[in-house]
Amino acid sequence: MNLSSYLFWDVDQKNVDFKAHSRFIISRVLMKGTLNDWHEIKKYYGKEFIKNEVVEIKYLDNLTLNFCSTYFKIPKSNFKCSSTKQSYREHWNY
């Protein structure tokens, strides 16, 4: 899979297993990736697999949660991230 290298700035990209780390990869692409990255994961995993994985992700920002809820036609309350709060505060919006 040909994904943007900046998505894996904190890990060794050579050690990323696209099958074993699918939830990690999907969340990174959804929150930080480009449109090309989105097309790559759809082609690799398929929309149904992504749909099943995205509801299990523990943290999605509000924009990504809204996108996934609308795109996959899933109520926000069905997402695991909607019932868990982030343990640290976000940066102030000046």
- 87 within domain boundaries: no
- 35 within domain boundaries: yes
Asked if residue 46 lies in contact with residue 26, where contact means CB atoms within 8 angstroms, the answer is no
pLDDT for res 12: 85
- 33 within domain boundaries: yes
CB-based contacts of 19, cutoff 8 Å, min separation 6? none
Kindly give the confidence (pLDDT) of every residue in the chain, 94 residues in length, as a single tens digit, with 9 standing for 90 and above. 889 989 988 888 888 889 999 999 999 999 999 999 999 999 999 999 999 999 999 999 999 999 999 999 999 999 998 877 655 566 666 6
- 15 within domain boundaries: no
**Six-digit token pair at 19?**
């099958």
Domain count, the chain: 1
- 28 within domain boundaries: yes
pLDDT for res 90: 62
* Angle at 32 (CA atoms; ends 29, 37), nearest 5 degrees: 40
pLDDT for res 35: 95
Write out the residue range of the structural domain in which residue 34 sits. Answer: 20-82
- 2 within domain boundaries: no
pLDDT for res 77: 92
pLDDT for res 38: 96
Helix (H, G, I), strand (E, B) or coil at 54: helix
Helices 47-54, 35-45: inter-axial angle, 10-degree rounding: 100
> Residue 37 corresponds to which amino acid?
D
- 8 within domain boundaries: no
- 77 within domain boundaries: yes
